[in-house]
Amino acid sequence: MSVPRFYCPQLPERAGLAELPEQAAHHAARVLRLNEGDRVTVFNGRGGEGEARVAAIGKRGVSVEITAWHAFERESPLRVMLAQAISAGEKMDFTLQKAVEMGVDAIQPLASERSVVRLSGERADKRVAHWRGVVVAACEQSGRNRVPKLESIRVLLDWLPEQSGNDLRLMLMPQADIRLRDLAKPAGRITLLIGPEGGLSPAEAEAAQRFGFTPVRLGARILRTETAALAALAALQTLWGDF
């Protein structure tokens, strides 16, 4: 059985006692039903992880004793921001979960003209909070010790003009002439733009190209939005990352 991993953002990077956050404590005590003395791994999302054991389980929480701290890094050498148009239902959760497993270091949810889901105000805040939980859980599962940054929802056409710098900007388009393997390995960050279920609108695709996004294709087949993001990330990691 693998050793359970828990994200503890306030965790000190040294030996000693620490309290698990409320959600992690509930998972440890009520879901996994850990006992005092059981081994766990804890991390604060900023790099490194602690070997620990459960010191006490009470009504008010779970404390662990950190016995050693290790500066383990499992990040990809490839810095990728996934700019993902919001998809419906569990598709967005699935995409974010797997993107974290694939090694993205930042995620930008985007409201697109063809997005089925429309979020604003309190609903948007709650959904982003939910997605942050998905990201953290994916880090716990995949062994990552750095939590990718999840930005607040932006409107795609408002976000595009803010993109600048020397990063490689890519957007998936089924009709594009360029393939990923036709491109040279970038020196800096990659921003990968993925449209929603119905794809980017003509106006959005034109605006993206105007602000430096290169259209690329993944073979001759049209992929679903959740397939496209993960296929592209896997291809990028194979070409230039650590696959």
pLDDT, tens digit, 9 for 90 and up, residues 96-107: 999 999 999 999
Helix 91-102 vs helix 225-240: angle between axes, to the nearest 10 degrees?
0
- The CATH 3.40.1280.10 portion of the chain extends over 80-240
State the average pLDDT over residues 82-95.
93
pLDDT, tens digit, 9 for 90 and up, residues 20-36: 999 899 999 999 999 99
pLDDT in the model for residue 120: 74
Q: Are the C-beta atoms of 190 and 237 separated by less than 8 Å? A: no
Structure confidence at residue 1 as a pLDDT band (50, 70, 90): low
Domain 80-240 = CATH 3.40.50.360: no
Superfamily of domain 5-70: Hypothetical PUA domain-like; domain 1 (2.40.240.20)
The alpha carbon of residue 231 and the mean position of all alpha carbons in its chain are separated, in whole angstroms, by 15
% of the chain exceeding 70 in pLDDT:
100
Q: How far apart are CA 136 and CA 161, in angstroms?
A: 30
Q: How far apart are CA 7 and CA 142, in angstroms?
A: 12
pLDDT, greater one: 1 or 202:
202
pLDDT, tens digit, 9 for 90 and up, residues 206-218: 999 999 999 999 9
pLDDT in the model for residue 214: 96
Residue owning tokens 């393997």: 181
pLDDT, greater one: 60 or 144:
144
Q: Are the C-beta atoms of 95 and 225 separated by less than 8 Å? A: yes
Beta strands, E only, the chain: 5-7, 16-19, 39-43, 49-58, 61-70, 80-85, 106-111, 149-150, 154-155, 168-172, 190-194, 214-216
- The CATH 2.40.240.20 portion of the chain extends over 5-70
